[in-house]
Structure 1
Amino acid sequence: MLVPSCENDGGDSKIDIQYGAVINIQKSSSSDTYINLVALQNGGDINLGFTIDKAVGDITSMDVVGLYIKSDGTTIFKGKFSTGIKTFPYTLNINKQKIYDAFTQLNSSDDFETGDQLTISAELTLKDGTVLKLINDDGSNNFSSNIASSSTYKVFQAYNVSCPSELGGTYEFTTTNVKAPTGESAPGPLTGTVTFEDQGGGIYNISDASFGGWTGLYGSGNIARNVQLKDICNKISYFGVDQYDEVFTFSNLVVNGNKISFHWENDYGEYGDTTLKRTDGSNWPALTL
């Protein structure tokens, strides 16, 4: 695995190649996938379990690092859960006391808020003595996009502070008033089904973030992939970007029994109005934006 860095002198560029390393951190299937705020407020505990193994590179030791990112996105606390790990794979379970011990800023359930996030990663010491941070102290990634999107390994795991969420399922959509900035339009109604695939912690993969809108605009097979839905104690939002690095947003959300309606758009300029209907006999919870 090569980690390139470039220094541009204004003309010719000098490129230094540094040998790096990558870990593979995977959540335990028997542990929590998010930090349950309701449980903490009721005096309960949490169990964040994961295993870290070497993936690429000559790693001699590892520190397990946590970044606690407050809901404002700018306040970040750094702590360490384990240091000097030399035996792999390494398994760790984190409860609330270990979080209190790692972060001087977190001392009780009152210090947790919805929308906060705990990111677990590592600082690696390589054979030549180089110390490699996989996540920078400001929360930015210190690795390339191909590593971030790898299906082979994960270099970090994120735990959202959230409430129990049950939005997974397949729903009927009706989408109208779809337009693109290049002039295409699809008045609709466009109908079909969309699936919210539960990833844990209030995060769901959306099978088509345009809810049939792109199919109406550009023809069969065109869907908005990779975008996720985030549910933080019934407050929902799009999360991440699509295959073209476009950011989606919701507005005008209305909840009415087994139906929700909303306006969606992205920063490319495409937009539409969608209604989702549950067919499982249940109503939607009191969702907000």
Structure 2
Amino acid sequence: MRILKYSFGLLAMALVFLSSCRDFVEPNIPYSEFDTGAYLRTIDRTSTTFNLFNLANSNFALTLEAVDIEDGGTVETVEIRVRHRRLIPGVGLEFTPQEDALVATLQKSDFAPNSESRFLRTSFQISAADAIAAVGLSFEDIEGGDVFEFRLVLNDRFGRSFSSDNVTNNVAGAPFYASPFQYNVSVVCPSDLGGTYQFEATETFCGATYSGEITWTPVSSSPGSYTLSDGTFGAWQECYPDSWGSGNVRINDACNILSMTGTDKYGDSYSMTVVSSTPEELTLSWENTFGEFGTVIVKSNDGKPWPDLR
């Protein structure tokens, strides 16, 4: 038994020794003959929205890094292609054109060394005007909520092309690679209606008229939404009296179209309509499912005029 254990120990030691020496053996796998590709790492998304109210000065802009076996040296051109997308309620997505159109081409000379990495980088900017023209539309055709799909096609000197149709999910989505080859640029309507306003209640369900103060607090998780400090604009206090308490009612700004959502502490939901809008005064009527209602004139705040709200 001792002999067997001793022999087994010698065998184990020999295996350990041989395995420890394995690192010094030149492998037979031809690593130098592996085929390698290329991708565009996203360094900075400088601008990825178009402002519906200022399309003439909106742009899509990125900083990219070309990554390949030659630190970006195999890149010949990068095509920037675009198409317009709109969601039609009850129908689905509508694309213009069906196949994306070429809007610009980056040349090899557009990529240059940088001080932060060994790879070549480039920065580019595509104006909204150029993107709109490339898809065959005009400024008047664009609506809030539209999306411009920009797709990049990297062509190297070996005749190969890399884009969103042949990139893996790991390369496209992983933070290290950050190379989706496709970027969705939404047409947005910036909203800046937060603040504390003076108002006059000209009509209420109990007949009271009065003046007061209302605060619209921006909802960080939902741009364009504002929580009201009192969904009844003080009507409960004047008519019962009662306090607003834990109610959660919001005014939502969708490209200057206002709506009211949410419920009060009793569970009744709210809605509103815009009666009129001037730079100085916003007149709106609210109501809830309990049958309460009111009309208020909300004054502009600190000289900041109201936009053309509907």
- Could you say whether these structures have the same fold, taking a TM-score greater than 0.5 normalized by the shorter chain as the test? no
* TM-score normalized with structure 2 length: 0.42
Larger Rg: 2
Higher helix share: 2
